[in-house]
Chains A and B, each alone.
Chain A
Amino acid sequence: MFGVDGKVREPYRDYHNWIDQEDPAQLLKKSAEAETFFRRTGITFNVYGDAQNTERLIPFDVVPRVVSAREWSRLARGIEQRVRAINAFLHDIYHRQEIIRAGRVPERLIAENSAFEPKMIGVSPPGGVYTHIVGIDLVRTGDNEFFVLEDNARTPSGVSYMLENRETMLQMFPELFSKIPVQSVSDYPKNLRRALARSAPRACGGRPVIAVLTPGIHNSAYFEHSFLADQMGAELVEGHDLRVIDGRVAMRTTKGYTPIDVIYRRVDDEFLDPLNFNPDSMLGVPGILDVYRSGGITLANAPGTGIADDKAVYSYMPEIVQFYTGEAPILKNVDTWRCSEPDSLAYVLEHLEELVVKEVHGSGGYGMLIGPTASKKEIARFRKLLKAKPGNYIAQPTLALSTVPILTKAGLAPRHVDLRPFVLVSPESIDITPGGLTRVALKKGSLVVNSSQGGGTKDTWVLDD
């Protein structure tokens, strides 16, 4: 909310004027109301490994994060460029591999990558789209300086929180929205439906039938799966509702089996098809990949998409953007040391106390070392891990992340945040919802914003000009 000079930053001016007049006790009361609201509507996530199978709320902070229209338009251009490059990269990697031939990325980056899916070689997805739904994680380090922290091109989650956070704010502070022009996010489900429908396969006869494929009610993101299906007016299916019949994927309805055209799948590649991938999986549909390859169904996102959002590939994103768009990347990457490279490894081992070390295939804030706050013991443990399997890790400097205020019992207090805007890709267009999911580290000084690690969320406002 405040710049380095201590003054209120321009985008926050109106909000600051408003909150200055508010009674802090009333605001805290609103916080409690928000919790009741989330609880009642069942906006929860399941915690794994918990005997009670407890559902938890992701803590919600009532102070919005505000982004100016100008800031946003630059971000949006950068995101669009990046997403275009990711889709082009995916096509290339599963076809001619020009980028490897050109020597811009090493062959082993692909060949040794577990997210690479050999069964996708030579397969072109309907409409040419590999990743229909993308989330790009960003952090701001200074005025107008955003870095990409991570690309989520396989199954980005969190969009339901973006939508429900806004809904909650609208209910709690309607007067704010009449004072401050905030761009709407509520078209997301409609746009998602449209992007999916436009990506329908050749076999689709008329109006595309769309379904969301979920692993089931015990999955941590089940709320989001059912929410999106509901909002799109699509069916929410599990693997055992589906079967391959006459070269199409069909769902078991009360009237018999009906073909589906597009599946927004929230099941990982590995579990998608026991005949083609993990044979023990009960979550998928036997033979679905063969239908996919013959143009009978669209899978969003395409299998094998994970090769683009891997942390090792991430370090090559500037080259990738340059290679496919012919432009300089608008959004910066965070400097990344690939521990697979001996020089980098040596540097990382020297500077562990200053760096953040991440597992290449890790997610959700697990398996990482945050040097500046880590104990000697942890650092020693990571030193061993790094030496044993250097290729498993990358390292990055800790950035001077900007903070955003949250409401605490003692009033407003600064906390670190990141931002995940959501992007929809169809064969004709790229659509970026103005806003996104702002995740916030609730612990003072913490840099970890993941909900699985006790992070919270807040509404993200992109102002209208």
Chain B
Amino acid sequence: MLGKSAGGLYWMFRYLERSENLARLLEAGFRIALTRSSAATSEWQSVVATAGVTAGFEAKHDEYTGANVVDFLLRDRDNSSSVRAVTDQARTNARMVRTALTREVWEATNECWMVLNQILQRPIRERDLPEILSVIKQQSTLVRGTMFGTMLRNDIYNFSRLGTFIERADNTARILDVKYYVLLPSLSHVGSSLDNVQWETILRSVSANRSYRWLNGEDINPSSIADFLILDRSMPRSLAHCVQEILVNLNQLAVAYDERKPCHECAEKIFEKLDKRSIDSILASGLHEFLKNFIQGMSELSSQIEQDYRFYS
């Protein structure tokens, strides 16, 4: 496969994943704004911080209102991480790698782009937001579904999956990092109802509130939330699960190409830092430090993959 195509696939799926995660993040923010108007401003602020676009937002808007944040994260093309911008990017990449995609995956991506362009054309009214966010998630899910259903399990598939999981791991880590103070045992003595709502948001932003309850009942406490989102491999958006999938796909590439590369070592190292760790030891040694290292590690892994498989040169 062309290096360019591998890179195109990788980024196409990173962008699609990002669009879905943004929708989820906004959903959580919106929920808080509805239920607790007093906390809304700081909640919107943290949504923007989690998306990693604080500087861009503040350059454009003076106030963290729901309307501003929604517009910036969904529609603003000046924000290269907005849903609209990443959907454009995903589709451009899909066009570039079209010969590597099945007709179904291409059409689903094209359709996703057409539908989202349509619904994001005009500023979004508050009452339409839930519906729009659900369409965004649905469209991204459709692409993933056609991929599962129609693509060969070869290097094309592996590069696509790597894009998905690196983006997802990065997202979950960012959500945790922005909220780490509500998970810290040392601060949790605050124990107010605010924290409970915040914990709930964290779970909601990764679509995990139901599955968390299913596993843990009503016992919502910071360390078990952190455990769930960092170490539980059965949770498809946890760091451990993402890293495990990254390893699986990298190993399949190593077998198919009959060659191990530096990115394999890099991924193993990240995996070792998660494997057999307890959440207590992670919290004790500093959650923020841990997450910062993890995000840094993901970014290094990403550039190593890029280099090893000649995406650009």
Using CB atoms and an 8 Å cutoff, list the residues of chain A in contact with chain B: 39-42, 217, 222, 226, 229-230, 234-238, 240-241, 251-256
By Cβ-Cβ distance, the 4 closest A-B pairs, closest first, are: A254-B309, A230-B99, A226-B98, A252-B3
Q: Which partner residue on chain B sits nearest A235 by CB separation? A: B2
- Residue pair A226, B99 in contact (C-beta under 8 Å): yes
Partner among B1, B3, B106, B310 whose Cβ is within 8 Å of the Cβ of A42: B106
| Contacts A222-B95, A235-B99, A255-B257; A241 near B111 (Cβ below 8 A) | no
Central interface residue in B92, B96, B159, by most chain A CB within 10 Å: B96
B6 contacts the other chain (Cβ, under 8 Å)? yes
A229 and B6 CA atoms in complex are apart in Å by 16
List of B residues within 8 angstroms of A256 by Cβ:
310
Q: Give bound CA distance, A253 to B2, whole Å.
A: 4
**Are A252 and B310 in contact, CB atoms less than 8 angstroms apart?**
yes
The A interface is mostly helix, strand or loop, or mixed, namely mixed
Contact pick for A226, options B95, B111, B310, CB 8 Å:
B95
Contact yes or no, A253 B106, CB < 8 A: no
Task: With A42-B110, A252-B310, A254-B257 as known contacts, state yes or no: A217 contacts B95, CB within 8 Å.
Answer: yes
Q: Does B152 contact A (CB under 8 A)?
A: no
Contact (Cβ within 8 A) B111 A40: yes
Given the contacts A39-B114, A40-B110, A42-B110, A252 and B99 also touching, CB distance less than 8 Å: no
* A253 in contact with B99 given A40-B107, A42-B106, A42-B110 (CB within 8 Å): no
Q: What's the Cα separation between A253 and B95 when bound, in Å? A: 18
Q: How far is the CB of A50 from chain B (nearest CB, A)?
A: 16
**Contact assessment for B107 and A41 in the assembled complex, using a CB-CB cutoff below 8 Å:** yes
B4 interface residue per 8 A CB criterion: yes
Q: Which size class do B's interface residues fall under?
A: 20 to 34
In Å, the complex CA distance between A340 and B259 comes to 64
Bound Cα distance A399, B155 (Å): 56
Bound complex: CA of A238 vs CA of B97, how far in Å? 12
A234 to B110, CA, bound (A): 22
B106 cross-chain contacts in A, Cβ below 8 A: 41-42
**A-B CB pair tally, cutoff 8 Å:** 57
What CA separation (Å) do A256 and B107 show in the bound complex? Answer: 30
Give 10 new A-B contacts, CB below 8 A, not counting A41-B103, A42-B107, A230-B99: A40-B114, A217-B92, A217-B96, A229-B99, A252-B3, A252-B4, A254-B2, A254-B257, A254-B310, A256-B310
Chain B nearest CB from A233 CB (Å) reads: 8
Collect the chain A residues with CB atoms within 8 Å of residue B4's CB.
Answer: 238, 240-241, 252
Closest beta carbon of chain B to A376's beta carbon, Å: 44
Give the chain A neighbours of B1 by CB distance below 8 A: 253-254
List B152-194 residues whose CB lies under 8 Å from chain A. Answer: 155, 159
Chain B neighbourhood of A235, CB < 8 A: 2, 99
Q: Whole-angstrom distance between the alpha carbons of A238 and B2 in the complex?
A: 10
A238 to B3, CA, bound (A): 12
- CB distance A253 to B92 under 8 Å? no
A251/B2 in contact, CB under 8 A: yes
- Some 21 contacts from A to B, beta carbons below 8 A apart, are A39-B114, A41-B107, A41-B110, A42-B106, A42-B107, A217-B96, A222-B95, A226-B98, A230-B98, A235-B2, A236-B98, A236-B99, A241-B2, A241-B3, A251-B2, A252-B310, A254-B1, A254-B2, A254-B155, A254-B257, A254-B310
A253 and B3 form a contact (CB under 8 A):
yes
Q: Give min CB distance, B194 to chain A, whole Å.
A: 46
Query: Which among B3, B92, B309 has the highest number of chain A CB atoms within 10 Å?
Result: B3
Residue of A nearest to B308 (CB): A254
| Cα-based distance from A241 to B111 in the complex (angstroms) | 29
Bound Cα distance A176, B4 (Å)? 43
Q: A226-B98, A235-B2, A241-B3 are in contact. Are A253 and B110 (CB under 8 A)?
A: no
Nearest chain A CB to B290 CB, angstrom units: 32
A47 CB to closest chain B CB (Å) equals 16
- Chain B, residues 82-115, CB within 8 Å of chain A (1/0): the string is 0000000000100110110001001100110010
Q: Which B1-40 residues have C-beta < 8 A from chain A?
A: 1-4, 6
Q: Which residues of B contact A251 (CB under 8 A)?
A: 2
B101: nearest chain-A partner, CB-CB:
A230
In whole angstroms, what is the CA distance A234 to B310 when docked? 19
- By a CB distance below 8 angstroms, the chain B residues around A40 are 107, 110-111, 114
Question: Distance (Å) between the CB of B256 and the closest chain A CB?
Answer: 10
Chain A residues, CB < 8 A from B92:
217
